[in-house]
Structure 1
Amino acid sequence: MSIFDRVHNRLNTRSMKWDLREFIFQNEDILPMWVADMDFQAPREVNEALIKRAEHGIYGYTVVDNAVKDSIVNWVKTRHDWEINREWLSFSKGVVTSLHMAIRAFTEPQDKILIQTPVYTPFYNVIQAHDREIVKNPLIEENNYYTINFNDFEEKLKSGVKAFILCSPHNPVGRVWKKAELEEMARLCLKYNVLIISDEIHADLVFSGKKHIPIASLSEEIANHTISCMAPSKTFNLAGLEASYVITTNKEKREKLIEEFQKQGHGNGLNTMANTALEAAYNYGSPWLNELLTVLEGHRDYVKKELEHNTDLRVTPSEGTYLLWIDCSSLGLNAKELKEFMTHKARVGLNAGVDYGEEGKQYMRMNLACPRATIAEGTKRIIEAIKNR
Structure 2
Amino acid sequence: MALPDMYRPLFDDAQVRPGLLRRRSPLRWGAHPPGVIPLTAAEPDFPGPPVVTDAVMSAVADGYFPYASPTESGELREVFSDVTETRYGIGNHPDRVVPAPGTAAALWGVVRLLCGKGDECIVLDPVDLLFGQAVDAAGARPVHCPVDKSTGCLDPDRLASLITPRTALICLCNPHNPLGTVFPAAVLRAVAETAGAHRIPILSDEVWNEIVYPPAAHVSPASLDTENGPRVYTVTGLSKTFALPGLRMGFVITPTRREADALRLTFQRLGATYSMSPFTQAGALAALRHGWPWKDAFLEHLQKVRDYCVDRLNAIPGMTCSRPEGTYVLFPDVSATGMNSRAMADFLLSRARVAVVPGTPEWFGPAAEGNVRISYATSLGVMEEALDRIARAVEERVTGGPAPLQATGTR
**What TM-score do you get using the length of structure 2 for normalisation?**
0.88
Given the alignment of the two structures, is residue 353 of structure 1 paired with residue 359 of structure 2, yes or no? yes
The equivalent position to 2:28 in structure 1, one of 9, 12, 17, is 17
**Structure 1 Cα separation of the partners of residues 74 and 119 of structure 2:** 37
1:146-188 Cα offsets, whole Å, 9 max, x none, are 1112232111014531101111111000011111111001011
Equivalent residue number for residue 140 of structure 1: 148
**Structure 2 contact 238–284 (Cα < 8 Å) conserved:** yes
**Structure 1 Cα separation of the partners of residues 233 and 356 of structure 2:** 31
Q: How does 1:309-328 map to 2 (within 5 A)?
A: 309-328=315-334
Equivalent residue number for residue 406 of structure 2: none
**Structure 2 contact 193–227 (Cα < 8 Å) conserved:** no
Q: How does 1:192-211 map to 2 (within 5 A)?
A: 192-211=198-217
Equivalent residue number for residue 165 of structure 1: 171
Secondary structure in structure 1 of the residue aligned to 2:372: strand
Equivalent residue number for residue 7 of structure 1: 16
Q: CA 1:237–1:222 in structure 2 vs 1: closer, same or farther (change >3 Å)?
A: farther
**Structure 1 contact 158–192 (Cα < 8 Å) conserved:** no
Given the alignment of the two structures, is residue 181 of structure 1 paired with residue 184 of structure 2, yes or no? no
Aligned AA (2:55): A
Equivalent residue number for residue 107 of structure 2: 99
The equivalent position to 2:383 in structure 1, one of 356, 365, 375, is 375
Deviation at 1:269, TM superposition (A): 7.2
Given the alignment of the two structures, is residue 61 of structure 1 paired with residue 67 of structure 2, yes or no? yes
1:73-126 Cα offsets, whole Å, 9 max, x none, are 232233223332111111211222122222221122010011010000111111
Secondary structure in structure 2 of the residue aligned to 1:246: strand
**Structure 2 Cα separation of the partners of residues 236 and 285 of structure 1:** 7
**Structure 1 Cα separation of the partners of residues 180 and 368 of structure 2:** 13
Q: CA 1:2–1:226 in structure 2 vs 1: closer, same or farther (change >3 Å)?
A: same
**Structure 2 Cα separation of the partners of residues 12 and 262 of structure 1:** 33
1:292-317 Cα offsets, whole Å, 9 max, x none, are 11111111110111122343411121
Secondary structure in structure 1 of the residue aligned to 2:183: coil
Equivalent residue number for residue 363 of structure 1: 371
1:319-351 Cα offsets, whole Å, 9 max, x none, are 001111111122111233122112112221111
Structure 2: gaps spanning 5 or more residues: 1-7, 398-411
Given the alignment of the two structures, is residue 151 of structure 1 paired with residue 162 of structure 2, yes or no? no
**Structure 2 Cα separation of the partners of residues 101 and 221 of structure 1:** 28
Equivalent residue number for residue 25 of structure 1: none
**Structure 1 Cα separation of the partners of residues 84 and 108 of structure 2:** 23
Q: How does 1:244-259 map to 2 (within 5 A)?
A: 244-259=250-265
Deviation at 1:378, TM superposition (A): 1.0
**Structure 1 Cα separation of the partners of residues 345 and 24 of structure 2:** 26
**Structure 2 Cα separation of the partners of residues 222 and 376 of structure 1:** 49
Equivalent residue number for residue 306 of structure 2: 300
Deviation at 1:189, TM superposition (A): 0.8
- Name which of structure 1's ranges 264-273 and 173-182 shifts more when overlaid on structure 2: 264-273
Secondary structure in structure 1 of the residue aligned to 2:179: coil
**Structure 1 Cα separation of the partners of residues 65 and 135 of structure 2:** 35
**Structure 2 contact 354–386 (Cα < 8 Å) conserved:** yes
1:33-80 Cα offsets, whole Å, 9 max, x none, are 111111011111111111111212222133544432232123223322
Aligned AA (2:246): G
Equivalent residue number for residue 136 of structure 2: 128
The equivalent position to 1:333 in structure 2, one of 329, 333, 339, is 339
Q: CA 1:14–1:138 in structure 2 vs 1: closer, same or farther (change >3 Å)?
A: closer
- Name which of structure 1's ranges 290-299 and 52-61 shifts more when overlaid on structure 2: 52-61
CA RMSD of aligned residues (A): 1.9
**What TM-score do you get using the length of structure 1 for normalisation?**
0.93
**Structure 1 contact 157–189 (Cα < 8 Å) conserved:** no
**Structure 1 contact 118–172 (Cα < 8 Å) conserved:** yes
**Structure 1 Cα separation of the partners of residues 267 and 68 of structure 2:** 17
**In the comparison of the two structures, how many residue pairs are matched?**
382
Secondary structure in structure 2 of the residue aligned to 1:289: helix
Equivalent residue number for residue 56 of structure 2: 50
Deviation at 1:242, TM superposition (A): 1.0
**Structure 1 Cα separation of the partners of residues 273 and 229 of structure 2:** 24
**Structure 2 Cα separation of the partners of residues 107 and 258 of structure 1:** 16
**Structure 1 contact 33–350 (Cα < 8 Å) conserved:** yes
Equivalent residue number for residue 89 of structure 2: 81
Equivalent residue number for residue 116 of structure 2: 108
